[in-house]
Each structure stands twice: as structure tokens, then as C-alpha cells.
Amino acid sequence: MRIAGVIIAGGKSSRMGGEKALMMLAGKPLLSHIIERVEPQVTVVIVNANGDASRFVQFGLNVIRDSRDDIGTPLAGIHAALSWARGNRFDGVLTVPSDAPFLPRDLAARLEGPEAAVASSGSQTHYLTGFWPTDLVHILEKAFAQSRHSRENGNPALVAKESEAPAFAGVTDNSRTVRVQDWVAACHARIVEWPARPFDPFFNINTPEDLAEAARIAAKFNP
């Protein structure tokens, strides 16, 4: 199976005072940690980010922008990833955030399959860390269109007719799909659990305190 690993780096990082992906941890940028984790598991790694792509030039990766400016959620990144992967004939996409430096080394092996799947640990679902068959892009685009139509017509819950069956098995049409967790639910994504001890492999960095804790984890466990 040809899998594109896509690092979603679209967050504003307002609590960090700078771009999280470029923050230093154990002597190298967070993005380098994530690339090293993901790269052996997939066919290719790319970055999804808006703005000046040259800030990522040191990593030598292709950078793709969101193609839907009207979404305003990480689903725009997933859509960009799926669109790029479909255009380049990949079977699926593994999406990961740009602020989780301890991602499991068996992430793709456990998530990939004929249906969507997302990671979980410590009773928390990590909606952006998931595997998405490339064909899902058609369903996501339809959900976007329905959501927009619903907003424009003042109807928050347009429901597809039963005859309008989803083109991808196991996916429920849902015009309220605007958040990643809504999309995960609409896909009936499989939830795959990892242990959160001795540290959570999906620990993500949102604050300077989180960065300090990540440094402690890296020093103690050398994950």
C-alpha cells in the first residue's frame, strides 16, 4: 500500500509565541522529531502548511497549502492531504500533527487498512492522528458542500436522502461535518488504542510548560 505521511502544521501556535513545528526539543526542531518517526512508516512525507513555505526548506519536504480557505478547521488540512494523495496515486494518507514528537513507530502499521482509523491513548481520541483511504476525499468534498449549503439556507442539519448513498462504504453523509471529530464519526473510523504509560506517545505541545515536559520525557525515556 502506498501511503503518504502528511504532517499538519496549520496551527497558529499563539500560546507558544512562535511556530510550534520549529521549536527546539533535544537539540532539533519538533518537526525533525516527527519526520524521523513517520518517514520509515510511509512511502513519502510531506507538510501541510499555509503561508511562506520557505520556512520549511531545511527539511527538504514538499509543502502543500490548504485548497479550501472557507473551512477554517484542521479538516482543511486533511482535505488538502487527500487531494494531493489522490492526484499522486497514493492508496491512503497518514495524518499527524506537527507538535507530537513521540509518535509510535508502529502508527501506520496499526492504523492502515480499507477503512479510516484514528489513534487513541489514555481514553482520549487523537482525531488528527489518523489513516484515511484516498477515496474519502470525494465524501469530504460532498460534506463541505452540504455544510455550506446548510449555512447559507439557515438549516444547520441538512440530511442526505437515503438514495444518496455515500460513495465509500462505511461513511455516513453528514452536513454538519465541520470539525475533525465530526468527520471521524461520519467515517465510522476505527479507534486504535495505545498505552499512555510510561508516557503518552501522543503527548502534544501547546505551551512552554508542555515543551519543558517533553524535554523531561525525552531525557528520561529516550523514546
For residue range 172-193, list pLDDT tens digits in order: 544 445 688 988 998 999 999 9
Please compute the mean of the pLDDT values over residues 16-27 and round it to a whole number.
89
Cell numbers found for residue 28: 532539533
Please tell me the predicted confidence (pLDDT) of residue 162: 30
Residue 45: strand pairing partners:
5
- Per-residue pLDDT tens for 200-212? 999 999 999 999 9
Confidence of residue 18 (pLDDT cuts 50, 70, 90): confident
Residue 13 predicted with pLDDT over 80: no
Enter the pTM of the model: 0.87
Query: For residue 211, which phi and psi values (nearest 5 degrees)?
Result: -65, -40
pLDDT at position 56, please?
Answer: 96
As beta bridge partners, residue 173 has: none
pLDDT at 221: 94
Which pLDDT band, with edges at 50, 70 and 90, does 171 fall under?
Answer: low
Residue 148 grid cell: 455550506
**pLDDT category of residue 144 using cuts at 50, 70 and 90:** confident
DSSP string for residues in the chain? --EEEEEE-----TTTTS-GGGSEETTEEHHHHHHHHHGGGSSEEEEE--S-GGGGGGGT-EEE--S-TT--STHHHHHHHHHHHHHTT-SEEEEEETT-TT--TTHHHHH-SSS-EEEEETTEEEEEEEEEETTHHHHHHHHHHHHHHHHHTT-TT----TTS--SSTTPPP-TT--SHHHHHHHTTPEEEEE---SS-TT----SHHHHHHHHHHHHHH--
Rounded-to-integer distance, Cα 95 and Cα 142, Å:
20
List CB contacts of 49: < 8 A, sequence separation 6 or more.
9, 10, 21, 56, 63, 65, 98
Residues 159-165 have a mean pLDDT of 32
List domains and CATH numbers for the chain. 3-134+186-215 (3.90.550.10)
Enter the C-alpha cell of residue 134: 484516498
21: how many CB neighbours lie within 10 A of its CB?
A: 26
